[in-house]
Amino acid sequence: MGTLKIAVIGAGLTGLTAAYKLSQQGHEITIYEESKTPGGLASAFKAGSENLDRFYHHMFVSDSDLLDLIDELSLHNALNWYEPKNAIYLEDSLFPFTSPFDLLRFTPLRFSSRVRTGLLVLRSGFIKDYRPLESVRAKDWIINRSGQEAYDKIWSPLLKSKFDMDSDLVSGTWIWNKFKLRGSSRGKNIAKEQLGYLDGGFILLIERLIEKIRQNGGNLLLENSVKSMAKSQDGRWEISSEKGRSLFDKVLFTAAPEILANSCSGLSQEYRAALRSIKYKANLCLALELKESLSPYYWITVAQEGFPFVLVIEHTNLVGLRGYGSHIIYLSRYLDASDPLFSASDSEIEEKFTDGLKRIFPDFEADYIKKATVSRVRYAQPVVKIGCSENIPDIETPLDGLFLASMPQIYPEDRGLNYAVRLGRQAADRLIRR
């Protein structure tokens, strides 16, 4: 195979990983990105003298694909591991929730429910074949194994906060994967969780990938949204973007499947409908730079209904103050893109979120806030419905030379940096083999 001219649509971690691998093999790579900055969900902004992830991130000791890439790019010296302190907010109170011993002391549940919940999480780590869980609702699977009380007080609010009106449709595969992932973050010591973070933020990984791609002759086009894609008369792919038209031998599309359905000519109606049937939740993330710390905890799960967010993440309680010059708090909410809150103004979102924060921390004052940054993403979390594996598209599309690498294809895993890297590598391999 000679040198190919390849377009990669999307400069998130999946697209950049694939572009990097393809450029290493001598192919001519052009990356299209509609945003001003690269990285997608791993993009960043300045907080003090440091780069801060726009959406909260950390990594697990089991993230082998991400660890391999960090080593390959000589970033291992920037990686540090930390032991977080976590909590759960329920019944208007904060409860430590870091170790299995915290679960045993979790008084909102009867002791028998605590034991059953602990066994559910522990046994999940030993389940290797997830396929029987695909046809079972997460709700039913949890109730059957940990009881109605545990479901009502812990898991139901979490499922609703993550999947909104679709929470009753979520399969057992998704919640099993969450249990398994948390267990793998503890290594051999189940009482101690370890989370990794890159000094300088994960944007460091994005910037190093771009640097390597450019060294290999690749090109990154920012603020250049793709308007349409179609086969030209000579069999190549014509991409029409905001800044002109170009021809390519192959195309790798890394945005949401629905966007591909709307922008690509030549797809069958059946395939287009299948792509559009993959439903996503949007995300709102408010990053607050505060004068004061809120708590000793890194990760607080809000399991009580009636709050505008589901997570309170005090990033600086994990990695330290660094050069941020502030205590960094993330408040996160998943919702339908049709929810009026998603299209609300930044000031409205900040007001609703900080009002909720005051309910958890009554001493919190508005003048604690030095800066607030609202980030929103339309395609943040695929809805993992019962039997969803039957509708996951293959990396190779029905059209010759067009490939798709998007978040639903990491199934049965849930979204995360590690699986974005893995999918990028898989897509590059498929594209070359084809």
Tokens of 108: 């909102």
* Residue-level pLDDT at 191: 57
Domain boundary (184, 213, 228) is at 184
Tokens of 258: 């629905």
Average pLDDT on 236-264 reads 96
Closest by alpha carbon to 282, among 58, 55, 37, 90?
55
Domain boundary (152, 184, 216) is at 184
Tokens of 350: 């900040």
Residue with tokens 């009002």: 355
* Residue-level pLDDT at 141: 92
- pLDDT over threshold 90, residue 233: no
Cα-Cα end-to-end distance for the chain: 10
Closest by alpha carbon to 388, among 403, 409, 406, 405?
409
Residue 105, helix vs strand vs coil: coil
* Residue-level pLDDT at 118: 87
Q: Say which residue, 189 or 425, is predicted with more confidence.
A: 425
Same domain, residue pair 269 and 405? yes
pLDDT category, 318, cuts 50, 70, 90?
very high
Distance CA 31, CA 18 (A): 10
Same domain, residue pair 402 and 273? yes
- pLDDT over threshold 80, residue 356: yes
For the chain, give percent helix, strand, coil, nearest 5.
40, 25, 35
Residue 306 falls inside a structural domain = no
Among 44-53, 152-161, 280-289, name the one with the lowest average pLDDT: 152-161
CATH number, domain with residue 223: 3.50.50.60
φ/ψ (deg, to 5) at 143: -60, -40
Residue 8, helix vs strand vs coil: strand
Average pLDDT on 219-247 reads 94
Residue 115 falls inside a structural domain = yes
Same domain, residue pair 41 and 104? no
Residue with tokens 């990669």: 8
pLDDT above 70: percentage of residues in the chain = 97
* Residue-level pLDDT at 178: 79
* Burial (CB count within 10 angstroms: exposed 0-12, middle 13-18, buried 19+), residue 415: middle
Residue 316 falls inside a structural domain = no
Same domain, residue pair 261 and 127? no
Same domain, residue pair 10 and 153? no
Number of domains comprising the chain? 2
Same domain, residue pair 267 and 399? yes
Same domain, residue pair 104 and 247? no
φ/ψ (deg, to 5) at 42: -105, 15
pTM: 0.92
Same domain, residue pair 145 and 215? no
Could you count the other beta carbons within 10 Å of the beta carbon of residue 233?
A: 6
Residue 427 falls inside a structural domain = yes
Q: Say which residue, 30 or 125, is predicted with more confidence.
A: 30
Residue 371 falls inside a structural domain = no
* Residue-level pLDDT at 183: 57
Report pLDDT digits (tens) over 139-188: 999 999 999 999 988 888 788 878 878 888 899 888 888 787 655 555 55
* Residue-level pLDDT at 131: 83
Say if residue 132 is preceded by a cis peptide, omega within 30 of 0. Answer: no
Domain encompassing residue 32: 5-57+201-278+391-433
- pLDDT over threshold 90, residue 380: yes
Report pLDDT digits (tens) over 64-92: 999 999 999 999 999 999 999 999 999 99
Report pLDDT digits (tens) over 96-131: 988 888 888 888 889 899 899 888 888 887 888 888
* Contact present, 182 and 121 (Cβ < 8 Å): yes
* Residue-level pLDDT at 159: 86
Same domain, residue pair 103 and 170? yes
Residue 175 falls inside a structural domain = yes
- pLDDT over threshold 80, residue 189: no
Closest by alpha carbon to 319, among 204, 196, 192?
196
Average pLDDT on 298-324 reads 94
Mean of all residue pLDDT scores within the chain: 92
* Residue-level pLDDT at 158: 80
Instruction: Collect all residues with Cβ–Cβ distance below 8 Å to 188 and sequence separation of at least 6.
Output: none
Average pLDDT on 334-347 reads 95
Query: DSSP string spanning 342-389?
Result: TTS-HHHHHHHHHHHHHHH-TT--GGGEEEEEEEEEEEEEE--BTTGG
Same domain, residue pair 155 and 105? yes
What distances in angstroms separate CA 121 from CA 96, 175, 178, 190, 363, one per listed residue? 17, 10, 9, 12, 35
Same domain, residue pair 395 and 272? yes
Average pLDDT on 186-191 reads 53
Same domain, residue pair 121 and 164? yes
* Residue-level pLDDT at 122: 82
Residue 112 falls inside a structural domain = yes
Q: Which stretch of DSSP H or E encloses residue 252?
A: strand 250-253
Query: DSSP string spanning 54-98?
Result: SS---EETT-HHHHHHHHHTT-GGGEEEE---EEEEETTEEEE-S
Domain boundary (136, 151, 184) is at 184
Residue 147 falls inside a structural domain = yes
φ/ψ (deg, to 5) at 304: -100, 130
What distances in angstroms separate CA 272 from CA 227, 235, 259, 313, 385, one per listed residue? 17, 21, 10, 38, 19
